[in-house]
Structure 1
Protein backbone atom coordinates (compact mmCIF):
# COMPACT_ATOMS: atom_id res chain seq x y z
CA UNK A 1 0.00 0.00 0.00
CA UNK A 2 1.41 3.39 -1.01
CA UNK A 3 2.41 5.77 1.74
CA UNK A 4 -0.31 8.38 2.32
CA UNK A 5 0.95 11.71 3.61
CA UNK A 6 -0.92 14.16 5.83
CA UNK A 7 -1.21 16.47 2.83
CA UNK A 8 -2.86 13.70 0.80
CA UNK A 9 -5.32 13.03 3.62
CA UNK A 10 -6.03 16.73 4.05
CA UNK A 11 -6.87 17.32 0.41
CA UNK A 12 -9.12 14.26 0.36
CA UNK A 13 -11.45 16.15 2.69
CA UNK A 14 -14.25 17.68 0.60
CA UNK A 15 -13.68 21.41 -0.02
CA UNK A 16 -16.38 23.09 2.07
CA UNK A 17 -15.63 20.92 5.11
CA UNK A 18 -11.89 21.45 4.62
CA UNK A 19 -12.16 25.24 4.39
CA UNK A 20 -14.58 25.63 7.30
CA UNK A 21 -12.80 23.36 9.79
CA UNK A 22 -9.40 24.79 8.84
CA UNK A 23 -10.71 28.31 9.42
CA UNK A 24 -11.99 27.24 12.86
CA UNK A 25 -8.60 25.77 13.80
CA UNK A 26 -6.66 28.81 12.51
CA UNK A 27 -8.95 31.20 14.41
CA UNK A 28 -8.36 29.29 17.64
CA UNK A 29 -4.59 29.21 17.08
CA UNK A 30 -4.54 32.98 16.49
CA UNK A 31 -6.38 33.61 19.75
CA UNK A 32 -4.16 31.14 21.61
CA UNK A 33 -1.09 33.07 20.40
CA UNK A 34 -2.73 36.37 21.42
CA UNK A 35 -2.55 37.64 17.85
CA UNK A 36 -6.29 38.35 18.10
CA UNK A 37 -8.66 38.29 21.05
CA UNK A 38 -12.17 36.95 21.49
CA UNK A 39 -13.32 40.56 21.91
CA UNK A 40 -12.40 41.16 18.28
CA UNK A 41 -14.36 38.12 17.07
CA UNK A 42 -17.70 38.01 18.87
CA UNK A 43 -21.01 38.86 17.23
CA UNK A 44 -22.05 42.47 17.85
CA UNK A 45 -24.60 43.94 15.40
CA UNK A 46 -23.89 47.48 16.57
CA UNK A 47 -20.18 47.19 15.83
CA UNK A 48 -20.97 45.55 12.49
CA UNK A 49 -23.49 48.11 11.24
CA UNK A 50 -22.20 51.30 12.87
CA UNK A 51 -18.45 50.69 13.01
CA UNK A 52 -18.23 48.49 9.88
CA UNK A 53 -16.49 45.61 11.66
CA UNK A 54 -18.04 43.25 9.12
CA UNK A 55 -15.59 40.42 9.83
CA UNK A 56 -17.57 39.65 12.99
CA UNK A 57 -20.34 38.17 10.82
CA UNK A 58 -17.87 35.44 9.88
CA UNK A 59 -15.68 35.08 12.96
CA UNK A 60 -18.64 34.42 15.26
CA UNK A 61 -19.02 31.08 13.46
CA UNK A 62 -15.31 30.21 13.63
CA UNK A 63 -14.50 30.45 17.33
CA UNK A 64 -15.36 27.54 19.65
CA UNK A 65 -13.33 28.86 22.57
CA UNK A 66 -9.75 28.25 23.64
CA UNK A 67 -8.11 24.86 23.24
CA UNK A 68 -9.81 22.36 25.50
CA UNK A 69 -12.60 19.82 25.68
CA UNK A 70 -15.31 22.17 24.36
CA UNK A 71 -13.19 23.15 21.36
CA UNK A 72 -12.26 19.53 20.55
CA UNK A 73 -15.84 18.30 21.02
CA UNK A 74 -17.30 20.94 18.69
CA UNK A 75 -14.55 20.60 16.10
CA UNK A 76 -14.96 16.81 15.87
CA UNK A 77 -18.72 17.07 15.48
CA UNK A 78 -18.39 19.89 12.94
CA UNK A 79 -15.88 17.94 10.85
CA UNK A 80 -17.75 14.65 11.11
CA UNK A 81 -21.27 15.73 10.22
CA UNK A 82 -20.27 18.47 7.80
CA UNK A 83 -18.19 15.94 5.89
CA UNK A 84 -20.89 13.28 5.86
CA UNK A 85 -23.42 15.79 4.52
CA UNK A 86 -21.04 17.02 1.85
CA UNK A 87 -19.97 13.55 0.75
CA UNK A 88 -23.45 12.07 0.66
CA UNK A 89 -26.52 14.30 0.37
CA UNK A 90 -24.52 17.12 -1.28
CA UNK A 91 -22.09 15.07 -3.34
CA UNK A 92 -21.69 16.91 -6.66
CA UNK A 93 -23.84 19.78 -5.31
CA UNK A 94 -21.27 22.05 -3.69
CA UNK A 95 -23.26 25.19 -4.54
CA UNK A 96 -26.33 23.81 -2.73
CA UNK A 97 -24.17 22.99 0.29
CA UNK A 98 -22.67 26.50 0.35
CA UNK A 99 -26.20 27.91 0.05
CA UNK A 100 -27.22 25.84 3.07
CA UNK A 101 -24.31 27.42 4.99
CA UNK A 102 -25.46 30.90 3.94
CA UNK A 103 -29.11 30.32 4.84
CA UNK A 104 -28.23 28.81 8.23
CA UNK A 105 -25.74 31.57 9.00
CA UNK A 106 -28.20 34.29 7.95
CA UNK A 107 -31.00 32.92 10.14
CA UNK A 108 -28.67 32.69 13.13
CA UNK A 109 -27.34 36.21 12.55
CA UNK A 110 -30.89 37.58 12.46
CA UNK A 111 -31.82 35.82 15.71
CA UNK A 112 -28.50 36.97 17.19
CA UNK A 113 -29.67 40.56 16.93
CA UNK A 114 -32.34 39.83 19.56
CA UNK A 115 -30.55 37.39 21.88
CA UNK A 116 -27.27 37.59 23.75
CA UNK A 117 -25.32 34.86 21.96
CA UNK A 118 -21.83 36.09 21.23
CA UNK A 119 -20.47 33.09 19.32
CA UNK A 120 -22.62 31.08 16.93
CA UNK A 121 -20.19 28.30 15.97
CA UNK A 122 -21.68 25.71 18.33
CA UNK A 123 -25.19 26.53 17.11
CA UNK A 124 -23.99 26.03 13.54
CA UNK A 125 -22.56 22.64 14.48
CA UNK A 126 -25.87 21.58 16.03
CA UNK A 127 -27.63 22.71 12.84
CA UNK A 128 -25.40 20.43 10.75
CA UNK A 129 -26.02 17.54 13.15
CA UNK A 130 -29.78 18.14 13.07
CA UNK A 131 -30.00 18.17 9.26
CA UNK A 132 -27.89 15.02 8.94
CA UNK A 133 -29.91 13.28 11.67
CA UNK A 134 -33.29 14.07 10.10
CA UNK A 135 -32.09 12.81 6.73
CA UNK A 136 -30.86 9.54 8.24
CA UNK A 137 -33.73 8.55 10.54
CA UNK A 138 -33.01 4.80 10.53
CA UNK A 139 -29.37 5.02 11.58
CA UNK A 140 -28.84 3.72 15.13
CA UNK A 141 -26.47 5.69 17.34
CA UNK A 142 -24.58 5.08 20.57
CA UNK A 143 -23.61 7.84 22.99
CA UNK A 144 -20.43 7.17 24.99
CA UNK A 145 -21.46 3.52 25.20
CA UNK A 146 -24.28 4.44 27.61
CA UNK A 147 -27.39 3.96 25.48
CA UNK A 148 -28.60 3.48 21.92
CA UNK A 149 -31.04 5.65 20.03
CA UNK A 150 -32.12 6.56 16.51
CA UNK A 151 -30.27 9.35 14.68
CA UNK A 152 -33.06 11.99 14.88
CA UNK A 153 -32.62 12.08 18.66
CA UNK A 154 -28.91 12.97 18.44
CA UNK A 155 -29.36 16.80 18.59
CA UNK A 156 -31.53 16.41 21.68
CA UNK A 157 -28.99 14.09 23.30
CA UNK A 158 -26.33 16.74 22.69
CA UNK A 159 -28.60 19.37 24.21
CA UNK A 160 -29.03 17.18 27.30
CA UNK A 161 -25.25 16.68 27.46
CA UNK A 162 -24.73 20.47 27.39
CA UNK A 163 -27.25 20.79 30.21
CA UNK A 164 -25.38 18.20 32.29
CA UNK A 165 -22.13 20.09 31.76
CA UNK A 166 -23.78 23.26 33.00
CA UNK A 167 -23.54 25.03 29.64
CA UNK A 168 -26.32 27.39 28.50
CA UNK A 169 -28.66 25.52 26.18
CA UNK A 170 -29.84 28.57 24.22
CA UNK A 171 -27.08 27.94 21.65
CA UNK A 172 -28.18 24.31 21.13
CA UNK A 173 -31.84 25.35 20.89
CA UNK A 174 -30.94 27.94 18.25
CA UNK A 175 -29.04 25.34 16.22
CA UNK A 176 -31.95 22.88 16.42
CA UNK A 177 -34.48 25.57 15.46
CA UNK A 178 -32.51 26.77 12.44
CA UNK A 179 -31.76 23.20 11.38
CA UNK A 180 -35.46 22.36 11.54
CA UNK A 181 -36.44 25.43 9.52
CA UNK A 182 -33.96 24.52 6.79
CA UNK A 183 -34.96 20.84 6.82
CA UNK A 184 -38.65 21.68 6.61
CA UNK A 185 -38.24 24.18 3.76
CA UNK A 186 -35.84 21.97 1.80
CA UNK A 187 -37.02 18.41 2.48
CA UNK A 188 -40.63 18.51 3.69
CA UNK A 189 -42.62 21.44 2.32
CA UNK A 190 -41.72 20.91 -1.39
CA UNK A 191 -43.15 17.35 -1.22
CA UNK A 192 -46.45 18.29 0.37
CA UNK A 193 -49.63 18.98 -1.60
CA UNK A 194 -49.29 22.46 -3.05
CA UNK A 195 -45.68 22.67 -1.92
CA UNK A 196 -42.82 24.10 -3.95
CA UNK A 197 -39.11 24.80 -3.65
CA UNK A 198 -38.54 27.92 -1.58
CA UNK A 199 -34.78 27.58 -1.20
CA UNK A 200 -33.38 27.82 -4.71
CA UNK A 201 -29.62 28.09 -5.00
CA UNK A 202 -28.68 31.30 -6.88
CA UNK A 203 -27.13 30.74 -10.29
CA UNK A 204 -24.01 32.66 -9.29
CA UNK A 205 -23.21 30.07 -6.61
CA UNK A 206 -23.74 27.24 -9.09
CA UNK A 207 -21.39 28.93 -11.55
CA UNK A 208 -18.76 29.47 -8.87
CA UNK A 209 -18.86 26.12 -7.09
CA UNK A 210 -20.46 23.41 -9.21
CA UNK A 211 -18.32 21.42 -11.58
CA UNK A 212 -19.00 18.45 -13.77
CA UNK A 213 -20.19 15.62 -11.55
CA UNK A 214 -17.48 13.32 -10.23
CA UNK A 215 -17.73 9.57 -9.96
CA UNK A 216 -19.95 8.38 -7.08
CA UNK A 217 -18.08 8.64 -3.81
CA UNK A 218 -17.10 5.34 -2.22
CA UNK A 219 -15.60 6.02 1.24
CA UNK A 220 -12.92 3.82 2.72
CA UNK A 221 -13.94 1.76 5.75
CA UNK A 222 -12.19 4.12 8.15
CA UNK A 223 -14.06 7.08 6.65
CA UNK A 224 -17.51 5.59 7.11
CA UNK A 225 -19.74 6.61 10.04
CA UNK A 226 -18.87 5.12 13.40
CA UNK A 227 -15.47 6.49 14.34
CA UNK A 228 -16.31 7.84 17.77
CA UNK A 229 -18.18 6.63 20.84
CA UNK A 230 -20.31 9.76 21.06
CA UNK A 231 -22.85 9.68 18.26
CA UNK A 232 -21.41 6.40 17.00
CA UNK A 233 -23.44 4.50 14.45
CA UNK A 234 -24.48 1.02 15.57
CA UNK A 235 -24.64 -1.61 12.83
CA UNK A 236 -28.10 -2.98 12.25
CA UNK A 237 -29.07 -5.87 10.03
CA UNK A 238 -31.08 -5.07 6.92
CA UNK A 239 -31.41 -1.45 7.98
CA UNK A 240 -31.48 0.97 5.03
CA UNK A 241 -30.34 4.54 5.34
CA UNK A 242 -33.03 6.98 4.36
CA UNK A 243 -32.48 10.47 3.01
CA UNK A 244 -35.48 12.12 4.60
CA UNK A 245 -38.53 11.63 6.72
CA UNK A 246 -41.86 13.00 7.70
CA UNK A 247 -41.86 16.13 9.76
Structure 2
Protein backbone atom coordinates (compact mmCIF):
# COMPACT_ATOMS: atom_id res chain seq x y z
CA UNK A 1 0.00 0.00 0.00
CA UNK A 2 2.84 2.37 0.88
CA UNK A 3 4.48 1.52 -2.42
CA UNK A 4 1.28 2.33 -4.33
CA UNK A 5 0.93 5.64 -2.47
CA UNK A 6 4.52 6.59 -3.26
CA UNK A 7 4.02 5.65 -6.89
CA UNK A 8 0.86 7.75 -7.15
CA UNK A 9 2.54 10.62 -5.32
CA UNK A 10 5.49 10.81 -7.70
CA UNK A 11 3.15 10.69 -10.70
CA UNK A 12 1.85 14.13 -9.68
CA UNK A 13 3.52 16.83 -11.82
CA UNK A 14 6.54 18.33 -10.09
CA UNK A 15 5.29 21.89 -9.52
CA UNK A 16 1.89 20.77 -8.20
CA UNK A 17 3.55 18.14 -6.03
CA UNK A 18 6.06 20.58 -4.57
CA UNK A 19 3.64 23.39 -3.81
CA UNK A 20 0.89 21.18 -2.38
CA UNK A 21 3.36 19.26 -0.21
CA UNK A 22 4.90 22.49 1.10
CA UNK A 23 1.44 23.78 2.08
CA UNK A 24 0.53 20.55 3.89
CA UNK A 25 3.88 20.37 5.72
CA UNK A 26 3.67 24.02 6.78
CA UNK A 27 0.13 23.67 8.12
CA UNK A 28 1.04 20.42 9.90
CA UNK A 29 4.04 22.10 11.52
CA UNK A 30 1.79 24.90 12.80
CA UNK A 31 -0.79 22.39 14.04
CA UNK A 32 1.93 20.52 15.97
CA UNK A 33 3.21 23.86 17.33
CA UNK A 34 6.62 23.34 15.79
CA UNK A 35 6.32 26.81 14.31
CA UNK A 36 3.91 29.68 14.86
CA UNK A 37 1.78 31.52 12.29
CA UNK A 38 3.43 34.69 13.58
CA UNK A 39 6.66 33.43 12.04
CA UNK A 40 5.01 32.95 8.64
CA UNK A 41 2.72 35.87 7.87
CA UNK A 42 3.51 38.61 5.37
CA UNK A 43 5.05 41.62 7.10
CA UNK A 44 6.98 44.07 4.87
CA UNK A 45 8.55 45.78 7.89
CA UNK A 46 10.06 42.54 9.23
CA UNK A 47 11.15 41.52 5.75
CA UNK A 48 12.97 44.78 5.03
CA UNK A 49 14.29 45.78 8.45
CA UNK A 50 14.96 42.38 10.02
CA UNK A 51 15.75 40.49 6.81
CA UNK A 52 13.11 37.81 7.43
CA UNK A 53 13.07 36.97 3.73
CA UNK A 54 11.36 33.62 4.26
CA UNK A 55 8.06 35.44 4.83
CA UNK A 56 7.94 36.15 1.09
CA UNK A 57 7.41 32.40 0.62
CA UNK A 58 5.71 31.21 3.81
CA UNK A 59 2.86 33.71 3.41
CA UNK A 60 1.78 31.59 0.40
CA UNK A 61 1.98 28.26 2.25
CA UNK A 62 -0.35 28.57 5.23
CA UNK A 63 -4.16 28.30 4.93
CA UNK A 64 -5.08 28.18 8.61
CA UNK A 65 -5.47 25.25 10.96
CA UNK A 66 -6.91 21.92 9.82
CA UNK A 67 -10.58 22.27 9.04
CA UNK A 68 -13.06 22.91 6.25
CA UNK A 69 -11.27 26.04 4.98
CA UNK A 70 -7.91 24.26 4.80
CA UNK A 71 -9.40 21.20 3.08
CA UNK A 72 -11.31 23.38 0.61
CA UNK A 73 -8.19 25.36 -0.33
CA UNK A 74 -5.95 22.29 -0.65
CA UNK A 75 -8.45 20.51 -2.90
CA UNK A 76 -8.78 23.52 -5.19
CA UNK A 77 -5.02 24.08 -5.19
CA UNK A 78 -4.27 20.47 -6.11
CA UNK A 79 -7.04 20.20 -8.69
CA UNK A 80 -6.49 23.38 -10.70
CA UNK A 81 -2.73 23.52 -10.35
CA UNK A 82 -2.48 19.96 -11.65
CA UNK A 83 -4.93 20.58 -14.50
CA UNK A 84 -2.91 23.59 -15.61
CA UNK A 85 0.39 21.74 -15.37
CA UNK A 86 -0.90 18.67 -17.21
CA UNK A 87 -2.90 20.73 -19.70
CA UNK A 88 -1.77 23.98 -21.28
CA UNK A 89 1.60 23.85 -19.48
CA UNK A 90 2.40 20.24 -20.38
CA UNK A 91 6.08 20.06 -21.31
CA UNK A 92 6.48 23.72 -20.30
CA UNK A 93 7.50 23.48 -16.66
CA UNK A 94 9.70 26.58 -16.89
CA UNK A 95 6.77 28.65 -18.20
CA UNK A 96 4.61 27.35 -15.34
CA UNK A 97 7.24 28.25 -12.75
CA UNK A 98 7.51 31.68 -14.35
CA UNK A 99 3.75 32.13 -13.94
CA UNK A 100 4.19 31.25 -10.26
CA UNK A 101 6.94 33.84 -9.93
CA UNK A 102 4.91 36.49 -11.75
CA UNK A 103 1.86 35.88 -9.56
CA UNK A 104 3.93 35.79 -6.36
CA UNK A 105 5.81 39.01 -7.11
CA UNK A 106 2.72 41.00 -8.16
CA UNK A 107 0.71 39.78 -5.15
CA UNK A 108 3.59 40.68 -2.85
CA UNK A 109 3.70 44.20 -4.28
CA UNK A 110 -0.05 44.56 -3.79
CA UNK A 111 0.33 43.12 -0.30
CA UNK A 112 2.53 46.05 0.69
CA UNK A 113 -0.44 48.39 0.23
CA UNK A 114 -3.23 46.04 1.34
CA UNK A 115 -3.44 44.63 4.85
CA UNK A 116 -3.22 40.92 3.96
CA UNK A 117 -1.27 38.51 6.14
CA UNK A 118 -1.44 35.33 4.06
CA UNK A 119 -1.51 35.26 0.25
CA UNK A 120 -2.06 31.57 -0.45
CA UNK A 121 -5.80 31.82 -1.03
CA UNK A 122 -5.29 34.67 -3.50
CA UNK A 123 -2.74 32.53 -5.32
CA UNK A 124 -5.23 29.68 -5.63
CA UNK A 125 -7.84 32.05 -7.07
CA UNK A 126 -5.24 33.20 -9.60
CA UNK A 127 -4.68 29.59 -10.72
CA UNK A 128 -8.44 29.02 -10.94
CA UNK A 129 -8.88 32.21 -12.95
CA UNK A 130 -6.21 31.33 -15.51
CA UNK A 131 -7.59 27.82 -15.92
CA UNK A 132 -11.16 29.07 -16.27
CA UNK A 133 -10.28 31.60 -18.97
CA UNK A 134 -8.40 28.97 -20.96
CA UNK A 135 -11.35 26.57 -20.79
CA UNK A 136 -14.33 28.87 -21.42
CA UNK A 137 -16.68 26.16 -22.72
CA UNK A 138 -16.40 23.78 -19.76
CA UNK A 139 -19.69 23.41 -17.88
CA UNK A 140 -19.37 23.33 -14.09
CA UNK A 141 -21.50 22.60 -11.06
CA UNK A 142 -20.94 24.07 -7.60
CA UNK A 143 -22.06 21.73 -4.79
CA UNK A 144 -24.93 20.58 -6.99
CA UNK A 145 -26.63 23.96 -6.61
CA UNK A 146 -25.45 26.18 -9.44
CA UNK A 147 -24.60 25.37 -13.06
CA UNK A 148 -22.34 27.74 -14.97
CA UNK A 149 -19.48 27.93 -17.44
CA UNK A 150 -15.86 27.89 -16.31
CA UNK A 151 -15.10 31.66 -16.62
CA UNK A 152 -17.64 32.34 -13.86
CA UNK A 153 -15.93 30.00 -11.37
CA UNK A 154 -13.71 32.65 -9.69
CA UNK A 155 -16.75 34.87 -9.17
CA UNK A 156 -18.79 31.98 -7.78
CA UNK A 157 -15.99 31.28 -5.28
CA UNK A 158 -15.87 34.97 -4.36
CA UNK A 159 -19.62 35.03 -3.78
CA UNK A 160 -19.37 31.86 -1.68
CA UNK A 161 -16.64 33.49 0.41
CA UNK A 162 -18.81 36.57 0.89
CA UNK A 163 -21.78 34.43 2.01
CA UNK A 164 -19.55 32.80 4.63
CA UNK A 165 -18.79 36.24 6.02
CA UNK A 166 -15.18 36.35 4.83
CA UNK A 167 -13.44 39.33 3.31
CA UNK A 168 -13.38 39.18 -0.48
CA UNK A 169 -10.26 41.35 -0.78
CA UNK A 170 -8.09 38.24 -1.08
CA UNK A 171 -10.34 36.76 -3.79
CA UNK A 172 -10.37 40.03 -5.74
CA UNK A 173 -6.58 40.20 -5.49
CA UNK A 174 -6.30 36.71 -6.97
CA UNK A 175 -8.73 37.54 -9.77
CA UNK A 176 -6.87 40.78 -10.57
CA UNK A 177 -3.46 39.12 -10.77
CA UNK A 178 -4.89 36.18 -12.72
CA UNK A 179 -6.43 38.57 -15.24
CA UNK A 180 -3.14 40.45 -15.56
CA UNK A 181 -1.33 37.23 -16.43
CA UNK A 182 -4.08 36.08 -18.80
CA UNK A 183 -4.14 39.43 -20.59
CA UNK A 184 -0.36 39.70 -20.96
CA UNK A 185 0.08 36.06 -21.98
CA UNK A 186 -3.04 35.24 -24.03
CA UNK A 187 -4.75 38.47 -25.12
CA UNK A 188 -2.24 41.24 -25.75
CA UNK A 189 0.21 39.20 -27.93
CA UNK A 190 -2.69 38.39 -30.30
CA UNK A 191 -3.78 42.02 -30.71
CA UNK A 192 -2.68 44.13 -33.72
CA UNK A 193 0.71 45.50 -32.79
CA UNK A 194 0.82 43.37 -29.67
CA UNK A 195 3.78 41.32 -28.56
CA UNK A 196 4.68 38.88 -25.82
CA UNK A 197 5.80 40.76 -22.72
CA UNK A 198 6.15 37.79 -20.39
CA UNK A 199 9.23 35.93 -21.57
CA UNK A 200 10.47 33.03 -19.48
CA UNK A 201 14.16 33.55 -18.57
CA UNK A 202 16.60 31.10 -20.09
CA UNK A 203 17.85 30.24 -16.60
CA UNK A 204 14.44 28.76 -15.75
CA UNK A 205 14.38 26.85 -19.02
CA UNK A 206 17.80 25.40 -18.27
CA UNK A 207 16.67 24.40 -14.77
CA UNK A 208 13.24 22.94 -15.50
CA UNK A 209 12.82 22.09 -19.18
CA UNK A 210 14.42 18.93 -20.45
CA UNK A 211 15.76 19.20 -24.01
CA UNK A 212 13.57 17.26 -26.38
CA UNK A 213 15.21 14.12 -27.69
CA UNK A 214 15.19 14.07 -31.49
CA UNK A 215 13.05 11.39 -33.01
CA UNK A 216 15.34 8.65 -34.38
CA UNK A 217 13.03 7.86 -37.28
CA UNK A 218 12.93 11.51 -38.34
CA UNK A 219 16.71 11.75 -38.22
CA UNK A 220 17.04 8.58 -40.25
CA UNK A 221 14.63 9.85 -42.91
CA UNK A 222 16.46 13.18 -43.10
CA UNK A 223 19.78 11.36 -43.49
CA UNK A 224 18.39 9.13 -46.22
CA UNK A 225 16.95 12.15 -47.99
CA UNK A 226 20.31 13.91 -47.80
CA UNK A 227 22.14 10.85 -49.16
CA UNK A 228 19.64 10.57 -52.02
CA UNK A 229 20.08 14.23 -52.92
CA UNK A 230 23.86 13.84 -52.85
CA UNK A 231 23.66 10.80 -55.18
CA UNK A 232 21.49 12.74 -57.64
CA UNK A 233 23.94 15.65 -57.66
CA UNK A 234 26.84 13.29 -58.33
CA UNK A 235 24.88 11.57 -61.13
CA UNK A 236 24.15 14.92 -62.76
The answer to whether 1:130 aligns with 2:148 is no
Give the stretch that moved more between structures: 4-13 or 170-179: 4-13
Q: What residue in structure 2 maps to residue 231 of structure 1?
A: none
Max Rg structure: 2
Q: What residue in structure 2 maps to residue 28 of structure 1?
A: 27
Secondary structure in 1 matching 2:173 = helix
TM-score normalised per structure 2: 0.88
Q: What residue in structure 1 maps to residue 91 of structure 2?
A: 92
Please list, as runs of the form range in 1=range in 2, the aligned pairs for 1:105-144 lying within 5 A after superposition. 105-144=104-143
Aligned residues: 213
Q: What residue in structure 2 maps to residue 239 of structure 1?
A: none
Give the direction of change, closer, same or farther, for the CA distance of 1:148–1:4 in structure 2 (3 Å limit).
farther
CA distance in 1, matches of 2:99, 2:79: 17
Please list, as runs of the form range in 1=range in 2, the aligned pairs for 1:189-228 lying within 5 A after superposition. 189-213=188-212
CA distance in 1, matches of 2:61, 2:211: 30
Please list, as runs of the form range in 1=range in 2, the aligned pairs for 1:1-247 lying within 5 A after superposition. 5-213=4-212
Structure 1, unpaired ranges of 5+: 215-247
Query: What RMSD in Å do the two structures reach over aligned CA positions?
Result: 1.4
TM-score normalised per structure 1: 0.85
Structure showing greater relative contact order (alpha-carbon pairs closer than 8 Å, 6 or more residues apart): 1
CA distance in 2, matches of 1:29, 1:213: 39
CA distance in 1, matches of 2:117, 2:108: 10
Give the number of the structure whose residues are more often helix, by fraction.
Answer: 2
